[in-house]
Structure formats: structure tokens, C-alpha cells
């Protein structure tokens, strides 16, 4: 990783003379100010271009900077935070502790309103909101309509209410016995008597000599005292067990409930600056970089304690920044040919540069194209293309990733000089070329696998299988062991073919591309 990839220091150290610039920018409000630029800046851009070109067929020393006109652009911008209050209410059984407890519902409303106004007029709270923003990776810079959670502004209020459902008793009459504590005997259905269990109501039973005589259990009555309720016709209520009441479900028997209001104040952030005061191409890069803008500019939060940050009565907080962006127009020469570029930001982004890499890598690109069509020695042509660093990247990406991801990986590693369309085509060609290199050996591997498998099957089905004892026990689930063995053999055959196929593909890549295939 080179120096340019380091994230900028936060807060950025102001360059000398910055305070004057700040005063000026502040006085000018929405306009921009143009300051001198460090001459080393253009040199950084040149090194960047040399780095891109190195390894792509041209001596980096033949890349030169012919002309540079640059400046440090300074302007004020701000992130506006709109505070959104979300109140949700719920009731919980019992006296819940944790939330701030107030005396009544009305007092709870008051407390919420007080909390909101306290937040809006408290410099400390505004500083904490600011800290949350500045601790984000993007420092809240260049965000659009983004929700920013402010957990320290989440608060719960509550008041206790006597339970309505049980009239604050904690218990309600039992629904089964209606508060009587007893219910009808289920055996005799409240009759007190049951059919005699000895004679089944026949009043007599057959004796040992087959002679009927009166039932001794019911004394010939056919019915007897209920064995469950002993003629009381009732039993203890099975729900309340005779207690006549059951715990109130609403308050869980606590007689009180807690009415909780959850107040969540969060912010929605909007970044803004005066677009009209900036060049159109600068605005375009700012929009494209989005939340990554912070990595490319010096942005110093402007301390505006007290007035100005919180609008009166409005639920908004403003966090202004003073932004410095070095930028300029460079004219490079590559082997004498002029290459213009717009240089932007701390990492000297090369913007709007002609596709210079496509030009200097042309022989390699042609070779890759040829390998993709499958004419001639595909492996040789790919090796030829891989002499170029950027094409090597394309081939490696195509080997490991699906086309879309491979294109993105290539573009990520090639900041300029290669158009998106060309990157896509290079990855496409590389994938086809690789397929051409590997398809024959891969087919060979597959064929070999199939042959070996066939031999193996013949051996198994004609010879080995007959030797399996025919009385193999069935496996759990009733699957015959012999069937299991057959399936196992078939699966092994399939796997063997796949392994051979991939083995031959790897070998072909290794033979064609050498170290690169690793």
C-alpha cells in the first residue's frame, strides 16, 4: 500500500495560512476561494500515472509532466441534521423499573416535551451529536437522507397505573367456577350417584354355580354413591383449586401495570454546499465519490458553538465544514504523446483521462482477442497478453471470479486509462481464452474418468457384487444394504470423474500460464 492509500488525518491539520483562508471563505458564505497549491502535488499525480503504466510495456520514465495548472479550492459546506422524534408506547404488567417514572400520563407527556426542548437547546447535546457524526467512517460528509442513530437520545418514561382489568386486586373471579370454588362432579354429572360398578346397573350378579343373586355392592339398587364426590355432587374447581379467584392476566397478579413511552430521537443527515460556486466537473466528482469524498479532501469541522448550530425552535442541527480540495489540469506526455487529465483531491485521482492503457497495451489486447476466438495457439497468445501487468490482472480476475465481479476487480486496480467497456471486454476475452486452453484437457480428463469408472463398474457388478453375502442385514429405515453399496459405488465413480476433470484443467492452466495459474 503506498502513501496515497493512507486515510487522511482527522481532523486534518490546516496548512499554513489557513486561518486567513477560513475567514475569507466564511465572509464569502456560499462562494469558493482559490488558494495556491503545493508544487509537489503535480509530481504526485505524475508518479500515480507512472505507477499505472509501469509493467505495461512502456518505460515509466518516458512518462512526463509537461504542464500543470492547479489550485486548492476552498469552500464551506454543511451537514444538516434533521432530528426526528419517534414515540412508541406500550403497557407492561407489574411495576417495571428502568424507565424514568413520573406521576401520571399528563406528566409523562410534559416530560417528553421537556426532553425534546432540552435537546434542542443544549450545547453539550449538540456536541455529542457532532461526535456521533464525526466518528462515522464518512464523517457525515456527503451523505444524503441518511438515518443516523443517536442512542444517547433514546429515553424511556413511564408511569404506573392501577390495573383496570382486576380493579387493582391482582386477581379476578375464577372463570370456570364463577368464584364458587367448586364445580359439578364430572363422574356423576351432579347426580351424586353412579351406575354400580360391580353389576353395571343389573342389580344382580351371576354366582359361582351360574345362579344369579343380588349385587352385594349396591344391595340390588343398580346404582351406588359416586366414588368421586361421595354424594356431594361437587368437586373442588380444577382451575382455581378452590381458591375462587385466579391471577389477573393483564397485570400478572401485580395489581399494577406500567405505561411506557419510548422516545427515540434520531437524525436524518443531508449534506449541502453551494453547487453554483463550483466548477461543474468538481461537482460531478463530488457527487460520484459520495461518502468516499472524505478520503479525498481536507475537511475541517468549523466550530460554531452557541448560536447558529441549532435553529431556534427548528429541529435541525447544522455542522459546517471548511473543505480544501487540491485539483488541477495536468498535461502529461507518454512517449511524446500528450495525455491530458483533470487531477482531483488528496489522492490525485486521474479524472477524464483518455484510455491511454488501451493504446499502449494494444499488442497484448489483440493477442487476448485471438486466444478468445480459439484460433492458433491459445496458450501462447494468453502468455503473450500476460506480459502486460493490467492484462495479467484481467486474466487472474477471470480465472477466479464471475465476469461482473472480475470486471469490478480489474477496474478497482486500474484507476484510469481503461474504460469500463474495455475492462468488461478484456475480462470476457480472458474468460473465453482460458476456456479454450482448458477445454481439450478437461474433456480428456472427463473421458479418462468415464473410462476408469466404467472399468470399475464392470469389476464391481460382474465380480465383486456376486461375492457380497446375500443375507446382508437391512440398514436403518429398511434400506437394503446391497442397494446402499450399489449407490455408493456409483457416487464414487461420478466423483472420480469430476476430480480427474478438475485435475486436468489445473494441469492445463499450469502448463499454459506457469506461475500465473497458481
- CB closer to Zn ion out of 173 and 380: 173
- 331: β partners: 67, 340
CB of 262 to Zn ion, least distance (A): 23
- CB closer to Zn ion out of 203 and 506: 203
Q: DSSP per residue over 53-84, as a string?
A: HTTTTS-GGGEEEEEEEEEEEEEEEEEEEEEE
Angle subtended by helix axes 362-373 and 389-400, to nearest 10: 30
| Alpha helical stretches, state H, 190-300 | 280-289
Helix, strand or coil, per DSSP, at residue 180 = coil
CB of 176 to Zn ion, least distance (A): 5
Cα(355)–Cα(420) distance, integer angstroms: 10
CB of 118 to Zn ion, least distance (A): 35
All three cell numbers of 508, joined, read 492445463
CB of 106 to Zn ion, least distance (A): 23
Among 314, 315, 320, smallest CA distance to 265 is for 315
Instruction: Show contacts of 492-498: CB within 8 Å, 24+ apart.
Output: 492/456, 493/453, 493/456, 493/457, 494/453, 496/449, 496/452, 496/453, 496/456, 497/446, 497/449, 497/450, 497/452, 497/453, 498/449
- CB closer to Zn ion out of 117 and 216: 216
CB of 175 to Zn ion, least distance (A): 8
- CB closer to Zn ion out of 174 and 286: 174
Cα(165)–Cα(253) distance, integer angstroms: 11
- CB closer to Zn ion out of 76 and 196: 196
- CB closer to Zn ion out of 30 and 181: 181
Cα(84)–Cα(79) distance, integer angstroms: 15
Is the distance from CB of 361 to CB of 389 less than 8 angstroms?
Answer: no
* Phi, psi dihedral angles at 10 (to 5 degrees): -130, 130
- CB closer to Zn ion out of 114 and 241: 241
Is the distance from CB of 327 to CB of 41 less than 8 angstroms?
Answer: no
- CB closer to Zn ion out of 91 and 109: 91
- E-state strands within 14-62: 32-35
CB of 161 to Zn ion, least distance (A): 10
Cα(124)–Cα(353) distance, integer angstroms: 47
Placement of cell 469389476 in the chain: 459
CB of 156 to Zn ion, least distance (A): 22
Q: Where do contacts with Zn ion occur on this chain (CB under 5 A)?
A: 163, 165-166, 174, 176-177, 185, 187-188, 196, 198-199, 215, 217-218, 226, 228-229, 237, 239-240, 248, 250-251
Cα(348)–Cα(330) distance, integer angstroms: 11
- CB closer to Zn ion out of 229 and 416: 229
DSSP-derived secondary structure letter, 340: E
CB of 159 to Zn ion, least distance (A): 16
- CB closer to Zn ion out of 91 and 155: 91
Amino acid at each position: 500500500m503506498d502513501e496515497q492509500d493512507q486515510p487522511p488525518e482527522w481532523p486534518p491539520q490546516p496548512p499554513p495560512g489557513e486561518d486567513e483562508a477560513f475567514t475569507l471563505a466564511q465572509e464569502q458564505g456560499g462562494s469558493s476561494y482559490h488558494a495556491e497549491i503545493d508544487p509537489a502535488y503535480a509530481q504526485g499525480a505524475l508518479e500515480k500515472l507512472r505507477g499505472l503504466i509501469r509493467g505495461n510495456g512502456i518505460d515509466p520514465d518516458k512518462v512526463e509532466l509537461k504542464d500543470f495548472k492547479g489550485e486548492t479550492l476552498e469552500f464551506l459546506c454543511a451537514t444538516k441534521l434533521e432530528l426526528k422524534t419517534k414515540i412508541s408506547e406500550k403497557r407492561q404488567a407489574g411495576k417495571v423499573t428502568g424507565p424514568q417514572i413520573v406521576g401520571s400520563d399528563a406528566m409523562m407527556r410534559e416530560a417528553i416535551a421537556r426532553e425534546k426542548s432540552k435537546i434542542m437547546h443544549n450545547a453539550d447535546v449538540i456536541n455529542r451529536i457532532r461526535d456521533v457524526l464525526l466518528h462515522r467512517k464518512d464523517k457525515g460528509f456527503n451523505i444524503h437522507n441518511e438515518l443516523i442513530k443517536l442512542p444517547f437520545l433514546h429515553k424511556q418514561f413511564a408511569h404506573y397505573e392501577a390495573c383496570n382489568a382486576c380493579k387493582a386486586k391482582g386477581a379476578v373471579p375464577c372463570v370456570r367456577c364463577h368464584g364458587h370454588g367448586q364445580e359439578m362432579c364430572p363422574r356423576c354429572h351432579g347426580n351424586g350417584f353412579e351406575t354400580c360398578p360391580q353389576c353395571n346397573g343389573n342389580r344382580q350378579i351371576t354366582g359361582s354355580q351360574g345362579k344369579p343373586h343380588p349385587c352385594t355392592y349396591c344391595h340390588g339398587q343398580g346404582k351406588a354413591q359416586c366414588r368421586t364426590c361421595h354424594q356431594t355432587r361437587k368437586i373442588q374447581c380444577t382451575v382455581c383449586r378452590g381458591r375462587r379467584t385466579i391471577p389477573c392476566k393483564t397485570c400478572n397478579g401485580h395489581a399494577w401495570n406500567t405505561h411506557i413511552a419510548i422516545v427515540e430521537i434520531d437524525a436524518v443527515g443531508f449534506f449541502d454546499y453551494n453547487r453554483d460556486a463550483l466548477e461543474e466537473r468538481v461537482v460531478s466528482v463530488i457527487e460520484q465519490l459520495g461518502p468516499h469524498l472524505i478520503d479525498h479532501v481536507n475537511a475541517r469541522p468549523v466550530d460554531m458553538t452557541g448560536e447558529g448550530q441549532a435553529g431556534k425552535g427548528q429541529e435541525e442541527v447544522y455542522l459546517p465544514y471548511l473543505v480544501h480540495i487540491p485539483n488541477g489540469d495536468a498535461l502529461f506526455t507518454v512517449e511524446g504523446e500528450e495525455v491530458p487529465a483533470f487531477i482531483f483531491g488528496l489522492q490525485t485521482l486521474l479524472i477524464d483521462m483518455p484510455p491511454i492503457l488501451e493504446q499502449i497495451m494494444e499488442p497484448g489486447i489483440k493477442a487476448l482477442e485471438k486466444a478468445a476466438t480459439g484460433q492458433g495457439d491459445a496458450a501462447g497468445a494468453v502468455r503473450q497478453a500476460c506480459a502486460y501487468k493490467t492484462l495479467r490482472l484481467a486474466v487472474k480476475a477471470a480465472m477466479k471470479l464471475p465476469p461482473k465481479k472480475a470486471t469490478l476487480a480489474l477496474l478497482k486496480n486500474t484507476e484510469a486509462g481503461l474504460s469500463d467497456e474495455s475492462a468488461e471486454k478484456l475480462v470476457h476475452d480472458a474468460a473465453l481464452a482460458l476456456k479454450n486452453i482448458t477445454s481439450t484437457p478437461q474433456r480428456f480428463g472427463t473421458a479418462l474418468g468415464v473410462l476408469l469408472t466404467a472399468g470399475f463398474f464392470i469389476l464391481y457388478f460382474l465380480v465383486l457384487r456376486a461375492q457380497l453375502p446375500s443375507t446382508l442385514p437391512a440398514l436403518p429405515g429398511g434400506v437394503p444394504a446391497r442397494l446402499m453399496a450399489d449407490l455408493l459405488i456409483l457416487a464414487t465413480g461420478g466423483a472420480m470423474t469430476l476430480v480427474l476433470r478438475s485435475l486436468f484443467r489445473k494441469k492445463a492452466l499450469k502448463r499454459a500460464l506457469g506461475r500465473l495459474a497458481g
